[in-house]
């Protein structure tokens, strides 16, 4: 059986495969890519993709007879939105998560995140 | 008389004292006790408001010598208003903690998926997550499965010792459950009617919690790396000129880290005593005698 940590690791590895592929992948294709590094059941990969789809981070596309999976956002997009969420607070919302660097106004934040992403 | 005094106390505690305490600098030397004092001020203000709601109608009807029926109606009305205040506070608290939990759960899911920590196992803790991106960011995601998140930018501008200082700071927020303190102040802020609202307690307590985390990190790794980390991370982020309060807060934290650290035992004891006294004394001096009188003539 998969432990809790193992499942989290697996979800991350599946996402990494989808991000690196740059095109929609079938369960079989994800399974093949992961199997190069480790022994993994096909059904496990299917379960993980299903979970990720339920969480809204990957989208399912019907292609011919098989389902293909594609990330809902690119890695860069998701990173930027996570950072924005970490730094955002308003009176209607609960406090921001990230305080160490201090607070910026929202539009300055978005610009700063975007600029930093380009710098890489 | 009781209602008037309680009203004056409540108004002083919610309108006058927060401004004075937020401007004071001595809390920087006793941040833990100062957080306790803020909590005591807030709670006492709520209790005073409840006291006014309960005592004022009773005192007025008694002074007016109203009949049994009027007194009964007044007491029931007062209890209803008090119940509304309590329910509003509780609902606000439940709402804030539920929304915070949902937001953190989603955030945790995403940082777990984006994590690049396999390239940085030497940094240590299992709950550390590393994000791609040059914007230097360090924060924690509290909860049952807490996370500390660093962006790659942090690893680029800080050396190992400074990273350890940042980690010690963030782990302190998690270990001391600082989010619970912030949630309770946020809930209170949101429950107070608009014109009476003030962000002062929220902002002041937030800064004090940062100082508490700074103190633990300083004890663990020394003041120099923490101070350097704070400066490096601030310089790396373009802070707009109009964010003055934030710049002040940073200045206060840096100033504490430059001076030699002598936790003031006397100040801590005094402030803690003040916090406890504030909570207990009005009840003993004002509420208990009133309750004695009121219960004697209890109409129900």
State pLDDT tens for residues B83-134: 999 999 999 999 998 988 998 999 999 999 999 877 777 777 889 999 998 8
In B, which residues are within 8 Å of A80 by CB distance? Answer: 133
Residue A117: its chain B contacts at CB < 8 A?
A: 133-135
Mean pLDDT of B152-164: 92
Query: Cβ distance A110 to A104 under 8 Å?
Result: no
What are the chain B neighbours of A113 within 8 Å (beta carbons)? 133, 135
Which residue from A minimizes the CA distance to B149? Answer: A98
CATH 1.10.10.10 fits domain A4-71: yes
The token pair that represents B284 in the structure block:
């003993």
Average of per-residue pLDDT across B261-269 = 83
Tens digit of each residue's pLDDT (9 = 90 or more) over B24-81? 999 999 999 999 999 999 999 999 999 999 888 888 888 887 778 888 888 899 999 9
Query: Residues near B165 by Cβ (< 8 Å), separated by ≥ 6?
Result: B217, B220, B221, B222, B225, B226, B228, B229
B250 and chain A in contact, CB less than 8 A: yes
Residues 19-48 of B with CB under 8 A from A: none
Q: Give percent of chain B above pLDDT 70.
A: 94
Q: Give this complex's ipTM.
A: 0.85
Is A103's CB within 8 Å of B112's CB? Answer: no
A86–B149: do the CB atoms touch at under 8 Å?
yes
Which segments of chain A belong to CATH 1.10.10.10? 4-71
Query: Taking 70 as the threshold, does the pLDDT of residue B141 lie above it?
Result: yes
Q: Does the beta-carbon distance from B233 to A100 stay under 8 Å?
A: yes
Within the 1-20 window of chain A, which residues sit less than 8 Å (CB to CB) from chain B? 8, 11-12, 15
CB–CB of B100 and A119 under 8 A? no
What lies within 8 Å, CB to CB, of B174 at 6+ separation is B140, B142, B146, B148
Range name among A61-75, A88-102, B135-149, B234-248 with the lowest pLDDT average? A88-102
Helix (H) or strand (E) holding A114: helix A106-119
**Residues sharing a CB contact under 8 Å with residue B32, sequence separation 6 or more, in sequence order:** B212, B268
Report the gap between the CA of B121 and the closest CA in chain A (Å). Answer: 14
Residues of B in contact with A103 (CB under 8 A): 243, 246
pLDDT at A4: 46
Q: Is B104 helix (H, G, I), strand (E, B) or coil?
A: helix
Look-up: residue for tokens 């369960």? A27
């Amino acid at each position: 059986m998969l432990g809790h940590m193992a499942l989290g690791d697996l979800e991350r590895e599946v996402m990494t495969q989808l991000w690196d592929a740059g095109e929609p992948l079938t369960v079989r294709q994800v399974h093949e890519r992961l199997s190069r590094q480790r022994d993994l059941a096909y059904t496990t990969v299917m379960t993980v993709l299903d979970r990720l789809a339920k969480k809204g981070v990957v989208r399912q596309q019907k292609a011919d007879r098989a389902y293909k999976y594609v990330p809902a956002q690119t890695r860069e997009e998701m990173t930027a939105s996570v950072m924005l969420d970490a730094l955002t607070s308003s009176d209607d919302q609960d406090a921001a998560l990230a305080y160490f660097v201090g607070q910026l106004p929202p539009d300055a934040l978005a610009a700063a995140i975007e600029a930093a992403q380009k710098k890489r | 008389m009781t209602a008037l005094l309680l009203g004056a106390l409540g108004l002083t505690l919610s309108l006058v004292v927060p401004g004075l305490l937020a401007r004071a600098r001595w809390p920087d030397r006793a941040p833990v006790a100062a957080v306790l004092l803020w909590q005591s001020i807030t709670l006492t203000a709520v209790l005073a408001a409840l006291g006014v709601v309960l005592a004022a109608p009773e005192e007025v009807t008694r002074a007016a010598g109203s009949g049994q029926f009027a007194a009964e109606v007044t007491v029931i009305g007062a209890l209803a208003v008090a119940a509304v205040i309590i329910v509003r506070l509780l609902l606000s608290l439940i709402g804030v903690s539920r929304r915070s939990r949902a937001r953190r759960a989603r955030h945790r899911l995403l940082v777990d998926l984006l994590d690049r920590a396999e390239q940085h196992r030497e940094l240590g803790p299992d709950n550390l997550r590393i994000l791609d991106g040059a914007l230097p960011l360090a924060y924690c995601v509290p909860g049952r499965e807490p996370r500390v998140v660093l962006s790659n930018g942090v690893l680029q501008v800080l050396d190992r010792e400074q990273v350890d200082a940042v980690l010690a700071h963030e782990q302190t927020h998690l270990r001391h459950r600082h989010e619970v303190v912030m949630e309770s102040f946020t809930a209170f802020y949101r429950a107070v009617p608009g014109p009476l609202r003030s962000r002062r307690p929220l902002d002041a307590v937030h800064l004090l919690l940062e100082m508490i985390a700074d103190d633990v990190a300083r004890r663990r790794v020394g003041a120099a790396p923490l101070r350097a980390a704070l400066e490096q991370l601030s310089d790396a982020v373009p802070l707009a000129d109009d964010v003055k309060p934030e710049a002040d807060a940073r200045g206060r934290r840096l100033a504490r880290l430059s001076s030699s650290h002598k936790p003031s035992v006397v100040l801590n004891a005094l402030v803690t005593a003040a916090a406890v006294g504030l909570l207990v004394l009005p009840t003993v001096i004002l509420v208990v005698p009133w309750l004695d009188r009121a219960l004697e003539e209890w109409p129900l």
